[in-house]
Amino acid sequence: MIQVKDLTFSYTGSPPYVLNQLNLEIPDGAYVSIVGENGCGKSTLMRLILKFLKPTSGQILSSAKRIGYVPQKNSASEDGFPITVFEMMDSYRKLLKLKDKQETDANLQKVGMLPQKKKKMSDLSGGQCQKVRIARALLGSPDLLLLDEPSTGIDMQSQQEIYALLKALNQKNRITVIAIEHNLNAAVENSTAIYHIINGRGHLCTPQRYAKEFLNSSKGENFYA
Amino acid sequence: MLEYSFMQNAFWASIFISILCPCIGIFLVLRRYSMIGDTLSHASLAGVTAGLLCGQNPVLGAFVFTSFCGALIEFLRNSFKKYTDLILTVVLALSVGVAITIISSGKLHANADSFMFGSILTVTQTDLIMIGVLSILSVLTLTFLYHPLLYIAYDEEAAMIAGVKVKTINYIFSILVAAAISVSIRIVGVLVLSSMIALPVATALQLGKSFRQTLLLSITFSIVDIMTGLFASYFLNVAPGGFTALVSVAVLALVLLGKKVAVTVRTSLENQHSA
C-alpha cells in the first residue's frame, strides 16, 4: 500500500507549493492513473514516491518490496546509444543482483520482444522501446509498477498492446500500477481509480465519475470545490 | 627501433594508454561529457608544473591535481545545475591559472614543454611503473563498475532505482578520468589529449552494433591510432601527440567514407534486384 500523508512540496522549500497537503491511499492491487494539466505536479508526485525528491513536509509510506519504474522516453540519452535490447535488460538484471539468467528472456517474452533482443534500442520503434522498458521494470517481480506517460508518442496499435499488458499485469499478477496519464480515455478504461491534480491539490475519484462528470463538465477547476 | 630503452618505455606506455583511454572515453562520450576530458587535460598541466616545482614525479602531480579537479567538477554540479558548462570554465580558469603562474614564475627547474606536445623520449622507468600501476588499477575498477557506469550513462534514474550509488560512482569515475589523463600526458601531450579519449570512441560508434562491441572497437581503433602515431613520430621526428591526433581524424574520416560507400553500393544493389 502507498500512503501519502499531508504531502507538501516546492522546489525552493517555500511557497508557492507545487503540491499542497496531498492525502492519498493506494491499496495493493490498484491501478491508479494520475491526471492533470501540464505542470500540475504529476511527475513531481511520482518523483517523490520514487524518493528522487524529498517532501517539503508530510510523508509517503510504501509497503512495496520492489518497485519497477518505466520512465518517459529520454531521447537525449537513448538516441544513438549503442546498446542492444539484451544488454539493456541483462545489465539491469545484474544491477538488481538477480541470479536467474533466464529472467531476462522470460520478461522479454512476456512483452513479446524476445525476437528483437539482438537489436539496438535506437533501432526500435517508440512502442517497441516502451515494451522493453516495461520488461525491464518487471525484472525482480516488482509489486509496484510506476509509469510516466506510458503511451506518449506511441502508435495506436502499440498503445492498445501496452494497456492490455498493463491491465493483465494488474489483474492477473496483482501488481499495483500507478501511471501518469495524458491519455484520458486510457486512464478511464484501465484504472480502478483516478487521481486528479489541480492547483497543487489532489482529488481521488472513480474512472466512471471522472468520465461522466469531469470530462463532460464545464465546471473545470471548480468541479471539486 | 624497439632496441632503444626509451622506445620500449614509450611502447608499453602507449599500450596502457590505448586500452585505458577508450574505456574511459566511451562513458564520457555517451554521457555527452567529452569536454570534461579537455578541461581535465589542462588541469593535468597544472599538476605537472606543481609536481615539478615540488620535486615530485610530474605524472603523480598530474594525477593528484586532475583528481582534485575531477572531484571539484562533480561537487560544483550541484551548485550550477542549469549552467553545467560554466563549471568547466571555472575549473579551466583555475588550472590554466596555476600552470601559467608556476611556469612564468621562473622557479621551475625543468622543462614542461614536452608535456604540452607529448614526447617519446621522456618516458622514464619510474613513469612507466606509475603509468602501468594507474592503468591496471583503473581498468580493474572499470571492470568492477561496468554495469553501474553503463546504466548511469544510459538511464541514470533506472540506475538509482536499482540501488546504484550514482553520486559515489560519479566521484570514482572522476578519479578514473584523472588517471587516464595523467598516464597519457607523457606520450600524447596536454593539447590533444582529449581527442585520444573521444576520437576512437567516435569512430567505433559508426560501426558498433552493441555496447560491448563498441567498447572493443574503441580499444582497437585507439591501439591503431596511438601505435601509428608513436612509430610515425619516431621516423618523422615529430611530436607523437600531434601525429596521433592526425591519424585518429584520418581513421574516423576513412570509416565515415567507407560507411557511406557501403550504403550507396547496398542501395544500388537493392534497386537493381527490385528492378
Residue whose cell numbers read 495506436: A156
Is B205 an 8 Å CB contact of chain A? Answer: yes
Task: Please report, to the nearest 10 degrees, the dihedral formed by the alpha carbons of residues A137, A139, A145, A147 taken in order.
Answer: 10
Q: How far apart are CA A34 and CA A2, in angstroms?
A: 14
Closest approach of A199 to chain B, Cα-based (Å): 26
Is A65 an 8 Å CB contact of chain B? Answer: no
- Spell out which residues of chain A touch residue B148, defining contact as CB-CB under 8 Å: 95
> What is the edge-to-edge ordering of all strands in the sheet holding A201-205?
A67-70, A144-148, A176-180, A31-35, A193-198, A201-205
Tens digit of each residue's pLDDT (9 = 90 or more) over B170-214: 999 988 998 888 888 877 888 788 788 899 999 999 999 999 999
A124 or B114: which leads in pLDDT? A124
* Nearest-CB residue to A82 (from B32, B158, B205): B205
Q: At residue A89, does pLDDT exceed 70? A: yes
Q: At residue A32, does pLDDT exceed 60? A: yes
Count the Cβ atoms, other than its own, within 10 Å of residue A37: 13
A positions 188-207 inside 8 Å of B (CB): none
Domain spanning B5-197: CATH 3.60.20.40: no
- Spell out which residues of chain B touch residue A50, defining contact as CB-CB under 8 Å: 157, 161
Q: Do B158 and A69 touch (CB under 8 A)?
A: yes
Tens digit of each residue's pLDDT (9 = 90 or more) over B252-269: 999 999 999 998 998 888
What average pLDDT score do residues B145-164 get? Answer: 93
Closest approach of A216 to chain B, Cα-based (Å): 37
Mean pLDDT of chain A: 88
Tens digit of each residue's pLDDT (9 = 90 or more) over B110-140: 777 778 877 767 778 888 888 888 889 999 9
Coil, helix or strand at residue B163: coil
**Domain parsing of chain B, residue ranges:** 5-197
Is A63 an 8 Å CB contact of chain B? Answer: no
The residue of chain A nearest to residue B29, with distances taken between CA atoms, is: A81
Tell me the residue ranges of DSSP E strands in chain A: 2-9, 19-26, 31-35, 57-62, 67-70, 144-148, 176-180, 193-198, 201-205
Mean pLDDT of chain B: 88
Q: How far apart are CA B199 and CA B22, in angstroms?
A: 9
Q: What percent of chain A has pLDDT over 70?
A: 92
Count the Cβ atoms, other than its own, within 10 Å of residue A173: 14
Q: Indicate the burial class of B28 (C-beta count within 10 angstroms; 0-12, 13-18, 19 or more).
A: buried
Beta carbons of B198 and B29 less than 8 angstroms apart: yes
What local confidence, expressed as pLDDT, does residue B193 receive?
A: 81
pLDDT band for A224, please (50, 70, 90 cuts).
Answer: low
- Spell out which residues of chain A touch residue B147, defining contact as CB-CB under 8 Å: 91, 94-95
What local confidence, expressed as pLDDT, does residue B274 receive?
A: 77
Task: Cis check for the bond before A16: say yes or no (omega within 30 of 0).
Answer: yes
DSSP symbol at A120: B
Tens digit of each residue's pLDDT (9 = 90 or more) over A158-200: 888 889 999 999 998 899 999 999 888 888 989 999 999 988 8
> What is the edge-to-edge ordering of all strands in the sheet holding A2-9?
A19-26, A2-9, A57-62
Pair type for strands A2-9 and A19-26:
antiparallel
- Spell out which residues of chain B touch residue A74, defining contact as CB-CB under 8 Å: 155
What average pLDDT score do residues A81-108 get? Answer: 94
What local confidence, expressed as pLDDT, does residue A216 receive?
A: 65
* Nearest-CB residue to B154 (from A81, A94, A96): A81
Q: At residue B275, does pLDDT exceed 90? A: no
Q: How far, rounded to the nearest angstrom, does the alpha carbon of residue A169 sit from its chain's CA centroid?
A: 13
Q: How far apart are CA A53 and CA A41, in angstroms?
A: 12
Q: How far apart are CA A134 and CA A136, in angstroms?
A: 5
Element at A202 (helix H, strand E)? strand A201-205
Which of B61, B189, B187, B54 lies closest to B128, judged by CA? Answer: B187
* Across A98-102, B62-66, B181-185, least confident range: B181-185
Q: At residue B95, does pLDDT exceed 80? A: yes
What local confidence, expressed as pLDDT, does residue A76 receive?
A: 52
- Spell out which residues of chain A touch residue B210, defining contact as CB-CB under 8 Å: 82-84, 87, 120
Residue of B149, B160, B210 to mutate for A, most A C-beta atoms under 10 A:
B210
- Spell out which residues of chain A touch residue B169, defining contact as CB-CB under 8 Å: none
B positions 92-111 inside 8 Å of A (CB): none
* Nearest-CB residue to B151 (from A76, A78, A95): A95
- Spell out which residues of chain A touch residue B84, defining contact as CB-CB under 8 Å: none
